[in-house]
Structure 1
Amino acid sequence: MKLTFLGTGAGRPNKTRNVTAAALQLPEPACSWWLFDAGEAAQHMLMQLPLKLSKLSVVCITHLHGDHLYGLPGLLSSRSFDGGVDPLRLFGPRGIRAYIETTFKLTGTVLDYELIIEELDEGCTGILYEEDGCKLVAAPLEHRIPCFGYRVIEPDAPGRLLTGKLEALGVPKGPLYGKLKRGETVTLQDGTIVRPTDVIDGKLVGRIVTILGDTSPCANAVKLAEGADLLVHEATFAAGMEEKARAFGHSTTMDAARTAKEAGARRLIMTHFSGRYSLEDLSGLREEAASLFPSADVATDFAVFEVERRKMG
């Protein structure tokens, strides 16, 4: 599982930073990917990556500000030209349906696949969608207009099979290996009972990735980020600019670090930087957050962050 940033700027693009979009690649067997926000030129950024639009299965829009949305109609249209025929699910605040349907009607755009639009409201709870075991959850945040954060939860998986133990117990290679790997107990021809715990090296803990939209510090941000292996949090402004951040419904580097710490996240990636900050300024922004939350980092366009599985037992 890996997360690639297609844009890390706030408000408008500049020469070194596009506006918000991020692609999350799911592990096998899905091998599909989900897109979080689609700022202007999102599909142009995708052309630089090995990601195919035909493999895109879910789009999650955090809110309807243009720097998170203007690239969506073109991207959805291009998916048809890129061989996309499988259904695509689009999640976003109320109004996303009208935006897409009006744009397509006025431009005469016709898709070659089914677009399933699901609008979210302030009371959304529970699992929105599940794909090969990966669950999608959303909750409202604090911004100037309705805005949501998303949490992706991967299921636990068994560890590797201990072939030495399998051979010692006389388990023949083939279907029985698969049953044990799936957590099923098997009985051999001589009556020997072999349990998965006897021949599997612990378990791999499911990964959690939390991607928040624009937000001021709030309880739902912490809740969505609880125990996350990777938390993506906006840091529009530097520390000390909390008053300005609140006025526009945003956060500072220290706000992001505080949320990560309270949530018990394992890693924090900051994004959505104001145009006042150059690439050279990012190391200073990272250091601000790291003073409170050491596992803090900053995103740049095309940066890729691997999310590794942890083993238990």
Structure 2
Amino acid sequence: MQITFLGTSSGVPTRSRNVSSIALRLPQRAEVWLFDCGEGTQHQLLRSDVKISQISKIFITHMHGDHIFGLSGLLASCGMAGNVSRMDIYGPTGLADYLDACLRYSETRLAYTLKVHKIKPGLVFADDEFSVSCAPLKHRVTAHGYRIEEKDRPGKFDVQKAIALGIPSGPIFGQLKQGKTVTLPDGRQFDGKDFCGEPQAGRKVVYCTDTIYCDSAVELAKGANVLIHEATFAHQDSDMAYQRLHSTSTMAAQVALNAGVNDLIMTHFSPRYAPGNALQLDDLLKEARSIFANTHLAHDFMSFEVDAK
């Protein structure tokens, strides 16, 4: 499970940072899920090692332009590339109408199935390996944070024990790895649980932007391996944060601390902290680490491996 940051600026792009988008790579199934899609996201994808052809789902937090203006262009490019058969998009009320207008007025016809799902707090998606849920955030428009949970995985399979007992390899090993009970042709019966170590806890990633500090973000992030949280402003600019309903670095750190996460990655930075200005992003990092030590600053094309802990 790997996170790649495609855009880490707020509001407008800068020379070194594009607007919001992250890619979550699910290597065990060669699949990529995108979270937000600001203008220029497809250009960022071309400059990264994330394959556009592997994108199957896109989750939108809210309808502000720096989170959605790249969506119709990316969908059109996926259609012209001819290597996408279906795309599922999840987001708030209005997203389907917005996309319909963009595609209709540009006379773009997609050669694949596009399904837009209107989200509400709670479970958004689930399959045998993953689930995605969302919760409301506190912003100027309706906004949601997302929680991606990997289901617990079977523990390590003891191959040597199985061989010592004369169990033939192949499909039977696979069944035992899944914890199933198998019966051999000679009548012997084995429980897969006796051959597997302790189950490995599934990894959990939470994405919260745009929002000011709120209890629902803390609840959504409880026990996560990684929390990605906006930190638009420095602590000394908290007045602007309250006016615009964005977070400061210290608010993001407080969410991480109260939720008991392993790692906090801050993103969605105001251009006012660009190099050369009196206050810079390293100052925001120091502020956050004074509250939550395992804090990291995201930058465009940064990749972060999510470890199970």
Measured against the shorter chain, the TM-score band is over 0.9
Which of 229, 241, 244 is the equivalent residue of 1:248? Answer: 244
Corresponding residue for residue 138 of structure 1: 134
- The offset of 1:53, in angstroms, is 2.2
- The offset of 1:113, in angstroms, is 0.7
The aligned runs of 1:294-309 (5 Å cut-off) are 294-309=293-308
User: Are 1:24 and 2:24 matched, yes or no?
Assistant: yes
The aligned runs of 1:124-135 (5 Å cut-off) are 124-135=120-131
The aligned runs of 1:106-117 (5 Å cut-off) are 106-117=105-116
* Equivalent residues of 2:179, 2:196 under 8 A apart: no
Letter in 2 for 1:67: D
Give deviations 1:270-302, integer Å, cap 9, x for gaps: 000000112583222222111111111010000
User: Are 1:60 and 2:56 matched, yes or no?
Assistant: no
Secondary structure of 1:176's counterpart equals helix
**Partner Cα separation in structure 2 for residue 290 and residue 196 of structure 1:** 45
- The offset of 1:174, in angstroms, is 1.6
Which stretch has the larger CA shift, 127-136 or 188-197?
A: 188-197
**Partner Cα separation in structure 2 for residue 126 and residue 183 of structure 1:** 30
Secondary structure of 1:11's counterpart equals coil
Secondary structure of 1:171's counterpart equals coil
- The offset of 1:237, in angstroms, is 0.6
**Partner Cα separation in structure 2 for residue 19 and residue 27 of structure 1:** 25
Corresponding residue for residue 193 of structure 1: 189
Which stretch has the larger CA shift, 82-91 or 200-209?
A: 82-91
* Equivalent residues of 2:23, 2:33 under 8 A apart: yes
Letter in 2 for 1:302: F
Structure 1 unaligned blocks of 5 or more: none
* Equivalent residues of 1:207, 1:228 under 8 A apart: yes
Give deviations 1:98-133, integer Å, cap 9, x for gaps: 11111111110100111101123xxx2332112452
Which stretch has the larger CA shift, 6-15 or 165-174?
A: 165-174
Secondary structure of 1:146's counterpart equals coil
**Partner Cα separation in structure 2 for residue 161 and residue 128 of structure 1:** 32
* Equivalent residues of 2:2, 2:26 under 8 A apart: yes
Corresponding residue for residue 48 of structure 2: 49
The aligned runs of 1:1-313 (5 Å cut-off) are 1-28=1-28, 30-120=29-119, 124-278=120-274, 281-310=280-309
**Partner Cα separation in structure 1 for residue 246 and residue 254 of structure 2:** 14
Normalised by the length of structure 1, the TM-score is 0.93
* Equivalent residues of 1:161, 1:200 under 8 A apart: yes
* Equivalent residues of 2:139, 2:212 under 8 A apart: yes
Letter in 1 for 2:135: A
* Equivalent residues of 1:52, 1:82 under 8 A apart: no
Secondary structure of 2:146's counterpart equals strand
Give deviations 1:207-227, integer Å, cap 9, x for gaps: 111111200111110111111
Secondary structure of 2:272's counterpart equals coil
**Partner Cα separation in structure 2 for residue 97 and residue 242 of structure 1:** 34
- The offset of 1:201, in angstroms, is 2.3
Give deviations 1:123-158, integer Å, cap 9, x for gaps: x23321124521111111100011111111111111
Q: RMSD in angstroms over aligned alpha carbons? A: 1.5
Letter in 2 for 1:16: S
Secondary structure of 2:160's counterpart equals helix
